[in-house]
Structure 1
């Protein structure tokens, strides 16, 4: 396969991952703010972070539509994808014109790949329709993501070496209910999300010559019913929030005997949210297990800030640190454009290193 061929494979992978696709939340605003959201997300994207925030809205908000939100993150610690593309070109050239120097080039690329860390790509999509109310706020939403992990095993010669691709797909459809209360003079909001989940696994092993990241048919699938819970305490411009996602633990095992676990995840959020300035901190109180057989647990501490220019444009930045050291520290940044307070376009990017990057964008309408 040529370099153009694998590039096309990656492009198709990103498209298929986003369309088939839980913790990954593709949201241009929060992604730009270090992926915080438990105390800072607006009511339209509240289902992705904390259902209680659905009841925290402006008096002018009547209905909101998020369509779509998309995002992609990639981690390739040892630049394996670039090496594989160069190796595939070298194999094609060698098979057309076998030479000792061509064989030496191939062996050099195989040495570079030997022992490399797995490549991890995550892509997702989300939508929401929210109706805020002083009685009970309601939102119908859906989201999903897929993680694709590829691991190269180098043996004697390129024809004996292979790439194992393992994928996990998650999608959910939920109905969020939230209401604001005054208790002993203090302002609280509580929310609950009953939701339907679909968990899928993918697995494939190919030669290096034929490798791409495109995932095809799932080999196992599990459906489940689950809940998210959330609460927010508000005092002037200050907020303290707690969200617990996926109260009922789920797991799914692939045909290659890899087990993916989704355990309840609790996150504490603190924020100062004023009209033209927002600052927030999110801290995961529990680990996210993910693949049982892999050392890929994550547990994040995040911080983010937003400057709002009279509700017409926003400038955002953030930072996130994985307490489990699975992911590198990431800097995030992004902008928002919201003319007339009706159309909202948010874009974000993240950078952990040259080999760990991400991007997301979301388009929403509020009336």
Structure 2
């Protein structure tokens, strides 16, 4: 077997994810500021990021140096989870296959037996091990105004998982290798890698207005009509049968598009309006899309359904000139796609401001819907941190995320004045 087969498979996994969608994810997009503050935003989003979190925040009171114009060009984030070091396992399997082939070619019986047993154990260890990649991209423009605030955004995420699956039929082929059987052929190995990805992209226009109540408090109402595109991708191939010209074949993809709607409200209260409560309903119209299933029964593919259901989130924040502290809760549970975990986040975040020119941020969020039976990588408790720099109206936000399973980062460029 060609030693490049598995390295090509690894490369194709990355390329197939990249070609699934130009803007592509099941979870809502987060600005870098939100990413750093535990994913919060419903009660604290700046105007430019309001379309991502809560359209009502377009009309909410902001610092005087950020309440006339907002721009994000662009915001990018990514997370990577590989609890079982799946990629390293694939590399090790590649090396062992090369050594097994060399033993067959040289008729080296001790080496053939040893490498066949080693390869069997490696393939069994790879079974159901999963690596997950999440990536997001967003652009936004906002014009907060007294009459009506307007924002435009385009954003999305992609979530892709790669899973190893051991086929017990390989035991017979590896027994032939161990015995130097002349009919042994490593190209007949049936253990496989499965790529499963889902993406959600959207383009929306947000409109918001602030209403002054009789008690002196302010109520903001916002709405975001938007156009969405859903896409799924499922590609399965044996470690021996991979063809590097097949991974981008359209038969592995399904897609669907349509209009949807986000609604939001926020209310400031307190003696100086230092408190703010927010609620957002994302994706008011449920949408779903089934994945493609190969007609080749040997691939043992099953149909997976991408569900984009309404997501209701509430938040509460306290802020002044130098700090923001917020807490946020998803009232609805979001179903994971394929091998992804279900999610329902409880999060807290904080930001400390140094006279508008620099910010230090931190947060933590816990998944109330996490379970050990999701057949993939568990989403549990995540810790976040970040900084913001704002020289002369320009913005640079950088964030990082850590959990037992995930490492993540985000960066964002923009402007506000």
Instruction: Using structure 2 for the length normalisation, give the TM-score.
Output: 0.80
Matches within 5 A, 1:108-119: 108-116=121-129, 118-119=130-131
1: CA distance between counterparts of 2:7 and 2:127? 24
The count of aligned residue pairs is 362
Q: Alignment partner of 2:95: what SS?
A: helix
1:63 to 69, 84, 101: 69
Q: Does 1:104 align with 2:117?
A: yes
Q: Is 2:23–2:156's contact at 8 Å kept on the other side of the alignment?
A: yes
Matches within 5 A, 1:351-362: 351-353=402-404, 355-362=405-412
Q: Alignment partner of 1:86: what SS?
A: helix
Q: Alignment partner of 1:268: what SS?
A: strand
Deviation at 1:88, TM superposition (A): 2.2
Q: Alignment partner of 1:290: what SS?
A: coil
Name structure 2 gaps, 5 residues minimum: 105-110, 171-185, 294-302, 371-377
2: CA distance between counterparts of 1:211 and 1:125? 30
2:138 to 109, 113, 126: 126
Q: Is 1:28–1:347's contact at 8 Å kept on the other side of the alignment?
A: yes
User: Which structure dedicates a bigger proportion of its chain to strand?
Assistant: 1
> CA 1:7/1:272 → structure 2, altered by over 3 Å: closer, same or farther?
farther
Matches within 5 A, 1:11-90: 12=15, 16=19, 19-21=22-24, 23-56=27-60, 57-60=62-65, 61-90=67-96
For 1:305, the equivalent position in structure 2 comes to 350
Deviation at 1:12, TM superposition (A): 4.5
For 1:223, the equivalent position in structure 2 comes to 257
Name structure 1 gaps, 5 residues minimum: none
Q: Is 2:17–2:160's contact at 8 Å kept on the other side of the alignment?
A: no
For 1:265, the equivalent position in structure 2 comes to 311
Q: Is 2:75–2:413's contact at 8 Å kept on the other side of the alignment?
A: yes
For 1:177, the equivalent position in structure 2 comes to 207
> CA 1:66/1:267 → structure 2, altered by over 3 Å: closer, same or farther?
same
For 1:290, the equivalent position in structure 2 comes to 336
1: CA distance between counterparts of 2:382 and 2:17? 21
> CA 1:3/1:208 → structure 2, altered by over 3 Å: closer, same or farther?
closer
Report the RMSD for the aligned CA atoms in angstroms: 2.4
Matches within 5 A, 1:130-209: 130-156=142-168, 157=170, 159-184=189-214, 185-208=216-239
Q: Deviations along 1:242-294, whole A, 9 cap, x unmatched?
A: 00000000000111221111110000101112121111111000001233x65
2: CA distance between counterparts of 1:139 and 1:96? 62
Q: Is 1:68–1:363's contact at 8 Å kept on the other side of the alignment?
A: yes
1:316 to 345, 353, 361: 361
> CA 1:79/1:333 → structure 2, altered by over 3 Å: closer, same or farther?
same
1:343 to 375, 391, 394: 394
Instruction: Using structure 1 for the length normalisation, give the TM-score.
Output: 0.91
Moved more, 138-147 or 50-59: 50-59
